[in-house]
Amino acid sequence: MPLVSMRQLLDEAAKGGYGVGAFNVNDMEQIQAIMEAARETQSPVIVQASRGARAYSQDRFLYHLMIAATEVYPEIPTVLHLDHGNSVATCKSAIDMGFTSVMMDGSLMEDGKTPSSFEYNVAVTREVVELAHAKGVTVEGEIGCLGGIEDGHGAGGDGLSHLTDPDQAVEFVKQTGLDALAIAIGTSHGAYKFSSKPTGETLKMARLIEIHNKLPNVHLVMHGSSSVPKELQDIINMYGGKLKPTWGVPVEEIQLGIKNGVRKINVDTDNRLAITGAIRKVFAENPSEFDPRSYLKPARAAMQQVMEDRMNAFGQAGHAGDYAPLSLEEMRAGYAAGGA
């Protein structure tokens, strides 16, 4: 099957009461690790590329790797999503290339770091919704700002300075007509999220539940949701790495989110850690090794294992064959008819 709409995946996840991981990629091995994990667990998947990933891969390469993924794994409903589009033009270029879902992050200005006004956010998000829905493409927006910074994008700080205001979230959804809403509840991008294990208090789970109660039919998105497992940090440090102690978002807090309207969970750092640990291990144990396949294969396998763990934990496992994916043309007709 061709690449599918994210909206349908999230609608189905809402019906089934589960979440779907959205995993960042830059290269062939990462795409293969995700697709292999999806086949192993029979999961629908969201593969996402940031602006940094598009630049790194010269995005036509990435796009064609994703087409290859749909040919090799035809039974897996697969979405190609733009992560943190910084402008209408960036979103438009992704839609023109064939992405089936885009994020317009109007919570920040086009520079990707200055918090914007509510009016600016509504205006740019609304514009992307109009041009995306006319092609059956899904739109994610963001209200409130996450902490941290990744690939040069982010407001910095600890994630607590721009939490999502629930009433503003209601107004934002009404004025933009978006499909999925990213909210700021204290998470940050990158590996250094928390300096001790976070609780539901640190994470402002009560805020998430309040937003869900006001917007029970809106698909919520948790960004910065790598769990940063100690085992993965340990492998890196055991083989010569120098990571400082750090904590991510515990899987059980994500599961509480999924019970309260979270349908898309963004994970990137955990895969970076798994890949780096596996490569360091090969280099440390076999210093004479120089065939890239000798370290990229274990790196791919380590990432696949993390992906299977997340797919099982989020509940998407077993749901790949539940429904017949709609074409983008059918999605377009649905939006035009005022549905969705």
Q: What angle do CA 219, 186, 184 make, to 5 degrees?
A: 35
Ranked by CB distance to Zn ion, the top (closest) residue is 223
Q: What is the distance between the alpha carbons of residues 72 and 326, in angstroms, rounded to a whole number?
A: 20
Nearest distance from residue 84's CB to Zn ion, in Å? 6
| Helices and strands (DSSP H and E) totals, the chain | 13, 8
Q: What are phi and psi of 153, to 5 degrees?
A: -120, 130
223 binds Zn ion (CB under 5 A): yes
User: How many Å is the Cα radius of gyration of the chain?
Assistant: 19
Which stretch in 9-17, 70-78, 124-132, 217-225 sits in contact with Zn ion by CB under 5 A?
A: 217-225
Collect all residues with Cβ–Cβ distance below 8 Å to 272 and sequence separation of at least 6: 191
Beta carbon nearer to Zn ion, 54 or 223: 223
Residue 105 annotated in active site: no
Count residues binding Zn ion (CB under 5 A): 1
Of the candidates 61, 96, 73, 81, the one whose C-alpha atom is nearest the C-alpha of residue 2 is 73
x/- letters, 30..49, toward Zn ion (CB under 5 A): --------------------
332 binds Zn ion (CB under 5 A): no
Q: Which residue has the tokens 């000798």?
A: 294
Beta carbon nearer to Zn ion, 222 or 274: 222
Nearest distance from residue 187's CB to Zn ion, in Å? 9
Nearest distance from residue 266's CB to Zn ion, in Å? 5
Beta carbon nearer to Zn ion, 223 or 281: 223
Nearest distance from residue 131's CB to Zn ion, in Å? 22
Q: What is the distance between the alpha carbons of residues 305 and 303, in angstroms, rounded to a whole number?
A: 5
Beta carbon nearer to Zn ion, 80 or 279: 80
Q: What is the distance between the alpha carbons of residues 113 and 239, in angstroms, rounded to a whole number?
A: 35
Of the candidates 11, 59, 83, 179, the residue annotated as catalytic is 83
Beta carbon nearer to Zn ion, 3 or 267: 267
- Token reading at 160: 């607590």
Active site residues: 83
Contacts to Zn ion by CB under 5 A:
223
